[in-house]
Amino acid sequence: MNAEYEAGLGAPVQDVAQEAIDAVAALYANEAGIDVEEHLRTQLASRGITTVDPSWLSEVGHQIRSGHPVRVGTPDGSIDQP
């Protein structure tokens, strides 16, 4: 996640993105047929991150589908870690 993405998020953008990533990874673990990138885009947007580099989105989606842990920030603990 590029640090350029600034918005009134109330937390560092990387931490906000981490929460979205964790939510999608948890969902994917239970429903492997989901469109990971679309869900990630939706989760990010719901947290105020609306501008995302498509190549970053694709790479994170690939890592989630591959079962690799994705760490871009520190989650606040509101989402259980996969």
Hey, where are the domains in the chain?
13-66
Task: Determine the pLDDT at residue 12.
Answer: 83
Kindly list the distances between the CA atom of residue 45 and the CA atoms of 9, 22, 66, 67, in Å, as whole numbers in the listed order: 11, 14, 23, 23
Give the chain's mean pLDDT: 84
Q: Which one-letter DSSP state was computed for residue 11? A: S
Percent of the chain with pLDDT over 90: 62
pLDDT in tens, 42-81: 999 999 998 899 999 999 999 999 999 999 877 655 555 4
pTM: 0.78
Q: Do residues 61 and 37 touch, judged by C-beta distance below 8 A?
A: yes
